[in-house]
Amino acid sequence: MTAPAVRLEADGVTVQHGARTVLAGVDLTLAPGEFVLLAGRNGAGKSTLLRVLLGSQRADGGGVRLGGRPLHDWDARARARQVAFVPQAADCPFEFTGRELVAMGRHPHRGRFEPERAADRAAIDDALAAVDAGGFADRPVTTLSGGELRRVAVARALATEAPLLLLDEPLANLDLEHALQLVRLLRRLGEAGRGVLVAAHDLNLIAPAAHRVALLHEGRIHADGTPERVLDTGNVLTVFGVVAGAPDGYFPRAFRPR
């Protein structure tokens, strides 16, 4: 990673959808070197918060800072080299190959007239290798399975070489094997110095691997800390309305990373 490590900070972010308050003052920080799970009920505003952190949606109140500077003061391409994004739906109407889709991750590094350089090709190859997509990189994405498509989308985000990564429901439609592979990859990326924020429902799969869990509830961060501390019986009951026996019940031992 060539970019200097910066932090992404949401400070009192509020978002209104018409009369409905989606986010009512969210404080959340993502720093390089940590793998954070953002969890909450359906409609809690996880995707909205991700878009605000990405900058594609403006907050109605509060603000987001990247490296201490307001996110919207950043030049678009410089920002894109710091914060990468993996969207929920990755449908593509044309027969691009996986490699061509991943190559788009180099867009913020290339001027309008610049051809693909050796550094671009190296970043693309590294990204494809990181998600183990070498085997299908040259096939049209219309022939790929859901899991393969998701890995291509993650590889595109990696190809930007951004130190911070935002992922929206990356495990949706993945079978258990591919879901676990992806979780392990995200954990590795965190350990290798990237900041990874995942909005997802799959507490059981992701929480054991995450450094931190942030629970979004009623427009605010209800709890934020280590998985063991945050996912206690009280918080799980409040946020998800589910009675959990012991927190251990949420962590299938076999899947624990250590």
Partner 1 sequence: MTHGRRLSPRLFVTVLAAATAVAAAVHLCIGLGEIDELTRQIVLQMRLPRLLVAVAGGAALGLAGAAMQATFRNPLASPDVVGTAAGAALGGALAIVARAAEVNALAVPVASLLGASFVTWLVFAFAGVGARFSATSLLLAGIAMNTLAGALTTFVVTLTVDNYTASSKVLFWLMGGLDAQNWSKAAITAVGAVVFGVPLLLRARELDVLVLNDDSAFSLGLDAATARRWLLWFACGLTATTVANTGGIAFLGLVVPHLARLLVGPAHRVLLPAAALLGAFVLVLADLACRNLPVTVNVRLGVVTSLLGAPYFLYLLRRHQRGEELQ
Tell me whether residue 5 or residue 92 sits nearer to partner 1 (CB atom).
Answer: 92
Interface with partner 1, residue 54, by CB under 8 A: yes
CA–CA distance from 133 to each of 75, 91, 105, 155, 180 (Å)?
A: 31, 18, 15, 8, 16
Among 139, 178, 188, 217, binds partner 1 (CB under 8 A): 139
Nearer to partner 1, 48 or 235 (CB): 48
What residues does 84 pair with on adjacent strands?
Answer: 165
Token pair for 84: 């990468």
* CA 124/CA 2 separation, integer angstroms: 15
Name the one range near partner 1 by CB under 8 A: 100-108, 125-133, 170-178, 246-254: 100-108
**170: contact with partner 1 by CB under 8 A:** no
Q: Does 108 bind partner 1 (CB under 8 A)?
A: yes
Q: What is the C-alpha radius of gyration for the chain, rounded to an integer number of angstroms?
A: 18
Amino acid at residue number 190: G
- Do 133 and 148 touch, CB atoms closer than 8 A? yes
Residue closer to partner 1, measured from CB, 144 or 205 = 144
Q: Residue 149 CB, nearest distance to partner 1 (Å)? A: 12
Look at residues 243, 90, 221 and name the one whose alpha carbon lies nearest to residue 167: 90
Question: What residues from 12 to 51 belong to the interface with partner 1 (CB under 8 A)?
Answer: 51
Distance, in Å, from the CA atom of 226 to the CA atom of 95, rounded to the nearest integer, reads 42
Binding site for partner 1 (CB under 8 A): 51, 54-56, 76-81, 83-85, 87, 89, 92-97, 100-101, 104-105, 107-108, 110, 112-113, 138-140, 142-143, 156-157, 160, 166
